[in-house]
Amino acid sequence: MKKIAAYIENERGNVALLVLGLISVMIILFMLVLNLAGALIVKEQAMSTSQQAALAATASLYEELPGFILSYEKELKEFIEEEEAAKEAEEPGEPEEPEEPEEPKEKEKTIEELIDEETEKLSGEMSDYSLNEIRNEAIDRILSKELDKGLGNNLLKTKLSLEMEYDWIKSMKESARSAIIANGGEVEGAVMTVFEDGQIVVESAHEVEAIGYNGFFAGIKENLFKSSKGPELKFVKKLPEWEGRTYSLE
C-alpha cells in the first residue's frame, strides 16, 4: 500500500509539473500573440506618421509658390525689358518711315490668371477634391508648362532651384519633422527624399516595446521604420538635378 501511495503521489507531482509547464508555454504564446498584435499596430502608426510627414512637406512647398510666382514674373519682365533695350541700342539708326497702325495686341495673361483659369477648369474634373487640392493641381500644371517655355534663359528653372536649395528645403524638413513629432514618431533615423518620381518621400519610425514574461521578450525595444510618399508634383520632374536628394530629419 505504501508503494502504491508513493507512486500516486509521484504521479500527482509529475502532472502538476506538466500543468505548470503547459501554463508557462501558453503564457509565452499569449505574450507572443500580444507582441505581434502590438507590432502590427505600431506598423500602422509608423505608416500613418510618415504619410502625414510627406503631406506636410508637400504642403509646405505649395505654400511658398504663390509669392515666388509673383517675384518670378516681376524679374522676368525686367529681364525682357533689359533685353529689348539692349537690342535697340545695338541696331543702327535708320530713317523712320510712317508705320501703319497696328491692331492692339491681346495682353498676355499672368501666371496667376492662368492658374485661376486652370482651377476653374479642374473644378469639374476634380469635384471630389477640396478647393485647395484643386488649386495645387492647377499650380502644378501651369508651372510645368511655363518651365517648358524656357523664358528668360530658363529663369524660372534657375529661380526654382535656388529657392529650393537655400530656403524651401529647410521649411519642408521642419514641416516633416514637426508632423513626425506630433504623431508620436521618432525623428532618430528619419529621412526625407526630394524627389522620387516627382514625390516627396519620408521614412520615419515608431518605437515598439515587447511585452515581457519571466525573462522572455523583456526589455526588447525596436524602432519600426516605414516610408510614405506625398502627391505627385509634375513641375519638379522638370528639375532632374533634384531627383533622389535625401535629407536627415533628426
Q: Give the pLDDT confidence of 90-147 residue by residue, as tens digits.
A: 766 555 555 565 565 567 899 999 999 999 999 999 989 999 999 999 999 999 999 9
Tally the domains of the chain.
1
118: in domain: yes
Is pLDDT above 70 for 155? yes
Q: Is the peptide bond before 195 cis (omega within 30 degrees of 0)?
A: yes
Rounded distance, CA 225 to CA 241, Å?
27
Q: Say if pTM beats, i.e. exceeds, 0.85.
A: no
102: in domain: no
94: in domain: no
Rounded distance, CA 112 to CA 95, Å?
41
90: in domain: no
Cβ within 8 Å of residue 227, ≥6 positions away: 50, 201, 202, 203, 204
pLDDT tens for residues 173-191? 999 999 999 999 999 999 9
Domain that holds residue 69: 2-85+110-248
Dihedral pair phi/psi, residue 92, rounded to 5° = -70, 145
